[in-house]
Amino acid sequence: MPEVHSQRLDLMAEQSVIGAILLTDRCLPDVERELRPTDFRLERDRALYEAALALERDGDRIDSVTILDRAQKMGAQVSRQYVLNLMELTPTAANVMEYVKLVKEESLRAALMETADRIREGIVGRESPSAVLSAAGQRLDDLASQSSLGRLVTPADGFLAFFRQRDAVEAGDARGYVCTGYMALDELLGGGMLNSGLYLLAARPGMGKTTLALNIADRVAQTDPVLFVSLEMDTEQLAAKRISRETGISANKLLMQPLTELEEAKVSQAAKSLASLAFYSNDAPTVTVDDIGTLARSIGGLRLIVVDYFGKILPPAASRRVGRVEYTTEISGALKNLARTLRLPILTLCQLNREVEGRQIKRPQLSDLRDTGALEQDADGVIFLYREDYYADRSTVDPSVPSLLEVDLAKNRHGGVGGCTLAFSMASSRITGMSYRRPKREEIPEQFRLGEEF
């Protein structure tokens, strides 16, 4: 049997890549950007490629003799005749990137076949369908990342992408960010929450995080699909808070008390209006980041994910035996990776440490984020909420009177920081702006006009 398996096109391409490197080391940097050693199916080809990479790392001379010598020293069973056959087989080193493309495509096909086999094994083995879907989604994301490894962006390509975005902005068709619907907050963010961004909405329990997140989600859902992952409230409780905002009837009454005919009519009308929004939620009390990704991929045209809240996200099974700091760090990084993979913003609600209660000045700061510093590091933006009446004597607070909700953008990776004030009506779960207006209405981008009140 001949040593060079030239009967298959994919193997010929693989061997021609190695042959080109043997002919001239000038093509190695281009090949290295595109191919990993695992992309080579034949063990001898993989060994020669690893030997060439090792020589490059060491700064040694790279040619057919030194590559063969290094491969043999690394334990590979490669003969001098095989190296000569590869050099003879290769038509020209000038076409090496065409050979690389064929090798990469075949490697991805093989990986996809392996993924399909794993899915089939999981189904036949009666594994949980959600576990099979989660594992498959993660694997496909990994393959997508691998397939783009070698897409080096040249200086010209980088600025071309920037000017395409500028053209979209000038045309009023920018989709690089998602507006919250609160003009003052969007101004602080520079327009809205950027695609691929991880944003944290953090405060002490009961400060208004879920209410503000629901208000933002519904404003975005007027024009684009939103996924609201609630790990604290059941579906009916979420619906009650949303209906309360539209009708002015308290959520407690909607859930537990009889309604008048007029109130029932208001509820019916509000439910009909809200049902027309592209607002999707989950019905599971616990999810992993992979589960969130699976849900997100099932919604066409999704523009925003809201997670309520970070501390309730279940860590991967392999991480549950380690400390909380370690697995929350992993969850934080996984959320950021998911945002980048799906190219949409993720707004994640977070609790603050109890230590804030012991300070004289109780306004939150970045060090108050719980469990891990990775949250602050991974986040593109950190938004804190604070109300003075939260710490006041409850007997002196009238729930029917709107509270002043201070919104503090404490971190903004893509711009400045600052604050604004919203009006929070706790009884009706409504949050509105404080008469924030631009001088001319024609200057207001269409995306900022979500909702009736600002």
| Same domain membership, residue 87 and residue 233 | no
| Same domain membership, residue 110 and residue 188 | no
| Same domain membership, residue 423 and residue 305 | yes
| Same domain membership, residue 265 and residue 371 | yes
Would residue 164 count as lying in a domain? no
Count of helices and strands (H, E) across the chain: 16, 11
**Structure pTM?**
0.65
| Same domain membership, residue 5 and residue 106 | yes
Question: Most confidently modeled of 141-150, 276-285, 356-365, 441-450?
Answer: 276-285
Q: What does the pLDDT read at residue 154? A: 63
The sheet with strand 304-308 has its strands ordered as 279-281, 226-230, 304-308, 346-351, 198-203, 381-386, 403-412, 418-425, 430-433
Q: What does the pLDDT read at residue 286? A: 81
* 359 against 220, higher pLDDT: 220
Strands 381-386 and 403-412: antiparallel
- Burial label, 107 (beta-carbon count in 10 A; 0-12, 13-18, 19+): buried
With 90 as the cut, is the pLDDT of residue 349 above it? yes
Mean pLDDT of the chain: 82
Q: Please compute, for residue 121, the number of CA atoms within 13 A of its CA located in the half-sphere on the CB side.
A: 8
What average pLDDT does the segment 445-453 reach? Answer: 46
What DSSP string runs through 263-332?
Answer: HHHHHHHHHHHHHTS-EEE---S---HHHHHHHHHTSTT--EEEEE-GGGSPPPGGGTTS-HHHHHHHHH
| Same domain membership, residue 325 and residue 233 | yes
- Tokens standing for residue 317: 């099974």
Would residue 159 count as lying in a domain? no
| Same domain membership, residue 66 and residue 192 | no
| Same domain membership, residue 210 and residue 146 | no
Q: What does the pLDDT read at residue 435? A: 56
**Domain around 61:** 1-152
How does pLDDT run across 52-81, given as a tens digit for each residue? Answer: 888 887 778 889 899 999 999 988 888 999
Count how many domains the chain has.
Answer: 2
| Same domain membership, residue 118 and residue 232 | no
Would residue 454 count as lying in a domain? no
What average pLDDT does the segment 341-351 reach? Answer: 91
Q: What does the pLDDT read at residue 164? A: 66
DSSP 382: E
How does pLDDT run across 144-188, given as a tens digit for each residue? Answer: 655 544 455 567 666 766 776 677 667 665 567 899 999 999 999
